[in-house]
Structure 1
Amino acid sequence: MQPAHAVRPALPVAAATAIPDDGLDSSAQQTTALGPRIQYPASPKEMPSSSERFFTGGQINTIPAFRPGEALEIVPGLAVTQHAGEGKANQYYLRGFDLDHGTDLALYLDAMPLNMRTHGHGQGYADANFVIPEMLAAVDARKGPYNVEDGDFSNAGTIRMQYLRKVPQGVYATTGGAFNFGRVFGMRSWEFSGGDIFGGGEISTYDGPWRVPNNARKINAVLRWSRGEESDGLSVTGMAYANRWNSTDQIPLRLFEQGFSPWGSISPTDGGDTTRFSLSGRWARETATDKSTVEAFVMHSTLDLYNNFTYFLTNPVLGDQFRQFDRRTMIGGNAYHAFKLNLFENKESELRVGVQSRYDDIRLGVQNAVQRMPYDTPRNDQLGEGNISLFSDIKTKWAPWLRTVIGARLDYYWGSNQGLQAYWDAPLFPRIDSSGFDPSAPFRIWTGPANSGAAAAQLLSPKASVILNPWDNTTDFYLNFGRGFHSNDLRATTQRLATTELGEDGGYLSVRKQGLLSPSTGAEIGVKTRAIDRLESAATLFFIQTAQENIFEGDSGNTVIARGANRIGVELTNHWRPLSWLAFEGDVTATHARFRGVDREQSQLFIDLLQPGAFEWGSWLSNMPGNYLVNATPIVATATLELGEATGWFGNFKYRYIAPRALTQDGFLKSPAIGTVNARAGYRWKEGWKLQLDVFNMFNSRSQQIAYGYGSLIPTDPLFQACNGGLSAPTTEAVCSVGQMGVVGHPIERPSWRLTFGGPLDVDLLTAKAPSLSEPFQFVKFWE
């Protein structure tokens, strides 16, 4: 039995790609932060690259996490933040990608994709708030597009999470903390109908330090029946989740200089609500010569989201709040089969073939709103989008020191969009003619029917990996190459007319259609070694070239498709366990990311801002054309210290650093650096009880959890008055459409604490042995 605090055991390094269920044998045992033993993968799967990492549930739950998504920060180089309440999908950063809510990072739970294509808020929206970290059996984290089973949204990497199948003893935990945080969690399993039922759930509340409380209310449940093992068995899983919240979004930093509270809100009715229900099944069979896996899933989700990022830039009277909604049903499945062969003069080989398919039925749109009351609808669409993907690879052991994995996948995507926008719901705009605006003759921008249509695309993606072990079993070298992609919003592939602006002649403004699939090319070279006793280290040099980027646009609250970019970087990871009760982890990822080519639209805007009447406002300083990749993190670093054995006192300290990053293409606006320390201390009784205190942002970092650079307007801005007739200062339409440029941010929460007490769930409370409250203070005596 391994102790609960064990972190990142030494991994086998001379290995080739394994099929998704490799290494998920649940015969071994491990203690967790809750105390009782749970089943987890006995040994990590074989790794095809130096950057891939495999983590058990016990490892994940050792590190304190402020919110569920932050549990994934155990993956080196990954930073997870939040800026809009505790129900909206997290913001992710990895390898120089501002992943927004998941555009280039593929997330899976029990083979179900979490990324939502053509989503109401942003392409690839991946909400991990329903994940229950204590129920995780394993996380397989891959960087880059080098594995054939990784398709859409896998440019930066892929994270596959898997829940437990059963626990030998039920557990529960109750947590209370600062800012009205409360949580009750429990899980248990029992035998039923020749298999095992495993269930768990949580209820949580949180207000936060905000003047408008988050008022987050979450309920979450999982129920699974399984028979056999992961590699040879059957399982059926149901999940249900609901959440609602208020959100204090990012605020212009210029307001803080005027005495505005960092915890205040400009748009107090922002927030949202979401639900998610799913049913999935998995069947697997393994023999001495082959193995097969079939997975199927169906999921229904809803989201209503109210945001206001530009405040009073577009509508100086009602404000710029807008509602984004998404209703979808997703159905899909995967099938894999692997054959063990002796080819190429009896070289040990494994040939794998597979198919993946998914179809989304989606109703989504965006509406302008005031205090959560919509008053017009720029987009209202009914979509159907599907794909079928075929892939195959062959891994061969050419010699004891040489392995290769070569494969390819073929993706075919299709979809159709039916605009449902009614004429009387379309945005109302003043008509523009040669004499200028004519408010007496407004008309509606009714573009829904014109933007309907269908699109299809296909993409062939080759992949290859070489694993070398030239000297011994402690050091391996890796060469990896692969083509990846992300799909674009289907609406962008059929749109012909702009939905919120007119042309200079007062007519509809034409827009350029986009392709459905946007490819990337990635490569890396790396080394992983355990040459020094008790120290595991890895170094990786990587390169990624994208054909297009999806970037955040403040004035629309969504992502837009931009020109391609190049990223080159290095990743260093080190894990050292000198003693059974002491471990260190240090990881750093440094990336140089730049756009390619010239942004002609930005260049034209820059010229407009240099004209008389515009130059004086200085907006050109942050709107010069450039090649900085917006919000690309140049450095992400973490350091972790862990103390303690399986029982008794334990502790954990985690430091995370995110370097300043350019917020505009010209690099004029930059974000502040982010550095936070979280800590954990507690005591575990041998009977399974646990008392634990978590402290977040313990040194009171006053940085911004998220920062953007764009234009906005608030009534106290001189430009607001100039653009709305309050000043005689000269302005131009270009300046007024851009607004007051500056950094907007969402502050890191003040230092907070959470106290957790947990223990056995399925015991007779009348006869069970309660924890000894004096035991933690019975220190070892060093004298007689």
Structure 2
Amino acid sequence: MRLRRFFFISYTASLCLGAWADEAKLLSPVEVRASSENLQGEAAAGSEGVVSSQRLQAVPILRPGEVLEMVPGLIVTQHAGDGKANQYFLRGFNLDHGTDFATSVGGMPVNMPSHAHGQGYTDLNFLIPELVDRMRFRKGPYYAEEGDFSSAGTAHIDYVRKLDGTLGQITVGQHGYARSLLAGSPTIGNGNLLYALEWFHNDGPWEVHENYRKLNGVLSYSQGSRNDGFSVTGMAYRGTWTSTDQVAQRAIDSGLVNRFGSLDPTTGGETYRYSLSGEWATRGQDSQSKANVWWLRSGLDLWSNFQYCLNDIAATGSCATGDQFKQSERRQAAGFAASHAIFSRWGGLDVENSFGIQGRHDRLNPVALCATQSRNVLSTVREDDISQTSLALWAQNEIRWLPWLRSIGGLRGDTANFKVNSNLAANSGKASDQMLTPKFSLIFGPWRNSELYLSYGHGFHSNDARGTTIQVAPADGVTPADRVKPLVRTKGHEVGIRSEPLAGWQTTLSLWQLDAASELLFVGDAGTTEPSRPSRRRGLEWTNLYTPTAWLAIDADFSWSQARFRDFDATGDHIPGAVTTTANLGMTVDDIGPWYGALRLRYFGPRPLIESNSVRSSASTLANLRLGYKFDRQTRLAVDVYNLFDRKVSDIEYWYDSQLPGETAPASDRHVHPTEPRSLRLTLSYLF
């Protein structure tokens, strides 16, 4: 009843606001012909690309983070509550919640270093898909301006600066799903004031209702364009939820819980994110300058229980309190970036010289790991104050030697400084590191609408600050613990081709390899480190977009990768969680009278779950469908069907030890989080 009342109020308010706005503007059709940039003559690698807003808004998206699935080869899943950051997979990486894939929105980095739950934590639940103007993606360490977390790839998401009118949108669906969105961009002075307010609720199919509640807002004033203008943007997001985490398969098989049941009904989280940012750009006759600055305040309290009773029984002989733990952080961060490009001629050759500076400072006060029961703190495992600063300088030179040959060479220098004050004095301290990373690409063509790319580069990712100063395990304060290197080097190379063999058909093919140095990993779930090994990943990607008519677009991407540890160990050389094969197929139609729609098919291949490859995850194939009807140029109604064929598969699978209540000993088992069953959502959109 409350939801119905809220939607009635929201819709009435949007009608009133629309009456105050300028005269109603026409609703832009969902253009299926990809109007994204033609990157021939611009890209440094075959695996670089742009996804337009028309393509993004045409497809059904279950969660905001799934906009990243439009990056070819990238898979987005979830292993806990929807308020938590997604799990990402790309190029043979289980990226966890974002390590080795850098994401930004409006020039602001989303990845969180030294995060309470995981390094590079990338929570995109604040994203409003309807506001996305474009997403530019890059893969591999071949770009001088890309830094921390970018070895596997990057995605830069830009919001629109002006909408076609005032948008009022209401979505309702099964399992208590309800969403309301109001957005517009009235003209004020010489610019536009973009605003958006989103309210969201979802229980999900879980036996313990998720009760995910989200309030989200954007307010931005801009003048001009991204290349010649400025914008000032404020964002605010707050979410709370109850989580059904992955469950041991034996608990499902024995009937203790069903696929959608929970072994701890009190896990979940609370989070918030407030930010202010500014972007500025100016274009000269022979130059381009850009700069941005940002400030962020965020927090997270996350309660999890993955092993149920294992640690409690080992310590006390009974499962009186269980293994629930809380990861918590309060963060303030600020950063900036500035770049300048000069376009000139050297000896009759076209030359572009670019250089830039980037900086970031994070203050976490505190970041903590606690043992809990039913969200009540029992003890503090570790608590730290962290100050972390990074600074980078980069330069890049591009020369067009011949009409069919150009080169891009770059050099990047990064420095990082960490300071940790821990509740265990032995784990306090300072650490710093520096790294130079060269980049180089040769591009041949275009010949017959085709370009060939040869790319080579070094990259890196930072490690958790707590791991750089740790000396003893926080569980007992005595057991020695290994420190991690602050910055870990990667090295990659790639051969790619970009072509338009037929009118309307864009295709790219890339053969790549990426090596990662030996490293140690900080494990946020335990507050300590665990060893990892040097690795090599290699693979093949094929991406296609075909628009044979003005009303039909077909896209398809396929990827294959092999991930192996490079040293010898009797346990095996397979990397757990490294996906081998993925595929995304999509078809979008529009302007068939009043009807429009989209169908997407995603294949998520099997992964080794342990180093010997003797235990593997299952593959999954999911289909999502959108069918829409335009009543007029302002009003639309769309039905989205997720998991169209109601496949009973898993979003994620792990293999590790756990101990259920009543078990006399731990057991190694498959732990799964199911894909949501077939569900329907109905969306009514009106543009004033």
Mapped to 1, the partners of 2:38 and 2:358 lie a distance apart of 29
Mapped to 1, the partners of 2:529 and 2:91 lie a distance apart of 19
CA contact (8 A) 2:598 2:625 kept: yes
* Stretches of structure 2 lacking an aligned partner (at least 5 in a row): 1-26, 314-318
Question: What residue number does 1:361 align with?
Answer: 363
C-alpha change, 1:13 and 1:301, in structure 2 (3 Å) is closer
Q: CA deviation at 1:5?
A: 3.7
C-alpha change, 1:551 and 1:644, in structure 2 (3 Å) is farther
TM-score, structure 1 length as denominator?
0.81
Match runs of 1:499-514 below 5 Å: 499-501=474-476, 508-514=478-484
SS of the counterpart of 2:676? coil
1:6 aligns with 2:32: yes
Q: CA deviation at 1:4?
A: 1.1
Q: CA deviation at 1:191?
A: 2.0
Question: What residue number does 1:352 align with?
Answer: 354
Mapped to 1, the partners of 2:197 and 2:528 lie a distance apart of 33
SS of the counterpart of 1:125? coil
1:644 aligns with 2:590: yes
Which residue of the other structure, out of 318, 323, 345, is the alignment partner of 1:320?
Answer: 323
1:747 aligns with 2:674: yes
Mapped to 2, the partners of 1:210 and 1:153 lie a distance apart of 33
1:4 counterpart letter in structure 2: V
Match runs of 1:284-295 below 5 Å: 284-295=281-292
1:305 counterpart letter in structure 2: L
Question: What residue number does 2:201 align with?
Answer: 205
SS of the counterpart of 1:645? strand
Mapped to 1, the partners of 2:457 and 2:171 lie a distance apart of 44
Q: CA deviation at 1:527?
A: 0.7
Question: What residue number does 1:497 align with?
Answer: 472
Mapped to 2, the partners of 1:480 and 1:558 lie a distance apart of 37
CA contact (8 A) 1:119 1:326 kept: yes
C-alpha change, 1:647 and 1:348, in structure 2 (3 Å) is farther
Question: What residue number does 1:759 align with?
Answer: 686
CA contact (8 A) 1:535 1:575 kept: yes
Question: What residue number does 1:113 align with?
Answer: 109
C-alpha change, 1:64 and 1:557, in structure 2 (3 Å) is farther
Mapped to 1, the partners of 2:342 and 2:430 lie a distance apart of 39
Q: CA deviation at 1:501?
A: 4.7
Question: What residue number does 1:678 align with?
Answer: 624
Q: CA deviation at 1:7?
A: 4.7
1:742 counterpart letter in structure 2: D
Question: What residue number does 1:424 align with?
Answer: none
Which residue of the other structure, out of 296, 301, 315, is the alignment partner of 2:298?
Answer: 301
Question: What residue number does 1:546 align with?
Answer: 516
1:492 counterpart letter in structure 2: G
CA contact (8 A) 1:670 1:743 kept: no
Q: CA deviation at 1:534?
A: 2.3
1:282 counterpart letter in structure 2: E
2:442 counterpart letter in structure 1: V
Mapped to 1, the partners of 2:490 and 2:139 lie a distance apart of 13
Question: What residue number does 2:440 align with?
Answer: 464
Question: What residue number does 2:633 align with?
Answer: 687
Mapped to 1, the partners of 2:524 and 2:603 lie a distance apart of 25
CA RMSD after TM alignment: 1.8
Question: What residue number does 1:704 align with?
Answer: 650
1:315 counterpart letter in structure 2: D
1:325 counterpart letter in structure 2: S
SS of the counterpart of 2:639? strand
Which residue of the other structure, out of 653, 656, 671, is the alignment partner of 2:599?
Answer: 653
Which residue of the other structure, out of 35, 47, 50, is the alignment partner of 1:51?
Answer: 47
Mapped to 1, the partners of 2:78 and 2:529 lie a distance apart of 17
SS of the counterpart of 1:73? helix
SS of the counterpart of 1:329? strand
CA contact (8 A) 2:40 2:446 kept: no
Q: CA deviation at 1:686?
A: 4.0
1:242 aligns with 2:233: no
CA contact (8 A) 1:309 1:554 kept: no
Mapped to 2, the partners of 1:416 and 1:552 lie a distance apart of 16
CA contact (8 A) 2:481 2:529 kept: no
Question: What residue number does 2:272 align with?
Answer: 275
Q: CA deviation at 1:549?
A: 6.2
1:594 aligns with 2:564: yes
2:377 counterpart letter in structure 1: P
Mapped to 2, the partners of 1:585 and 1:479 lie a distance apart of 25
1:581 aligns with 2:508: no
2:163 counterpart letter in structure 1: V
CA contact (8 A) 2:229 2:280 kept: yes
CA contact (8 A) 1:87 1:216 kept: yes
TM-score, structure 2 length as denominator?
0.92
SS of the counterpart of 1:86? coil
Match runs of 1:57-68 below 5 Å: 57-68=53-64
CA contact (8 A) 2:32 2:552 kept: no
Mapped to 1, the partners of 2:565 and 2:634 lie a distance apart of 53
1:228 counterpart letter in structure 2: G
Mapped to 1, the partners of 2:428 and 2:519 lie a distance apart of 24
Q: CA deviation at 1:2?
A: 8.1
CA contact (8 A) 2:35 2:52 kept: no
Mapped to 2, the partners of 1:83 and 1:684 lie a distance apart of 36
C-alpha change, 1:358 and 1:553, in structure 2 (3 Å) is closer
User: What are the Cα deviations for residues 66-101 of structure 1, in whole angstroms up to 9, with x where unaligned?
Assistant: 000012211110000111111100000000000000
SS of the counterpart of 1:563? coil
1:192 aligns with 2:195: no
Which residue of the other structure, out of 119, 122, 126, is the alignment partner of 2:118?
Answer: 122
1:94 aligns with 2:90: yes
Mapped to 1, the partners of 2:141 and 2:189 lie a distance apart of 41
CA contact (8 A) 2:40 2:498 kept: no
1:382 counterpart letter in structure 2: D
User: What are the Cα deviations for residues 328-359 of structure 1, in whole angstroms up to 9, with x where unaligned?
Assistant: 0001100101111211x221101111000000
C-alpha change, 1:76 and 1:558, in structure 2 (3 Å) is farther
Mapped to 1, the partners of 2:29 and 2:519 lie a distance apart of 44
Q: CA deviation at 1:674?
A: 1.3
Mapped to 1, the partners of 2:28 and 2:182 lie a distance apart of 22
Mapped to 1, the partners of 2:417 and 2:638 lie a distance apart of 50
C-alpha change, 1:550 and 1:57, in structure 2 (3 Å) is farther
Q: CA deviation at 1:386?
A: 0.5
2:443 counterpart letter in structure 1: I
Mapped to 2, the partners of 1:321 and 1:576 lie a distance apart of 50
Mapped to 1, the partners of 2:222 and 2:291 lie a distance apart of 14
C-alpha change, 1:136 and 1:102, in structure 2 (3 Å) is same
CA contact (8 A) 1:417 1:490 kept: yes
CA contact (8 A) 2:228 2:281 kept: yes
Mapped to 1, the partners of 2:520 and 2:107 lie a distance apart of 25
Question: What residue number does 2:6 align with?
Answer: none
1:309 counterpart letter in structure 2: F
Mapped to 2, the partners of 1:450 and 1:598 lie a distance apart of 33
CA contact (8 A) 1:518 1:547 kept: yes
C-alpha change, 1:303 and 1:523, in structure 2 (3 Å) is same
1:264 aligns with 2:261: yes
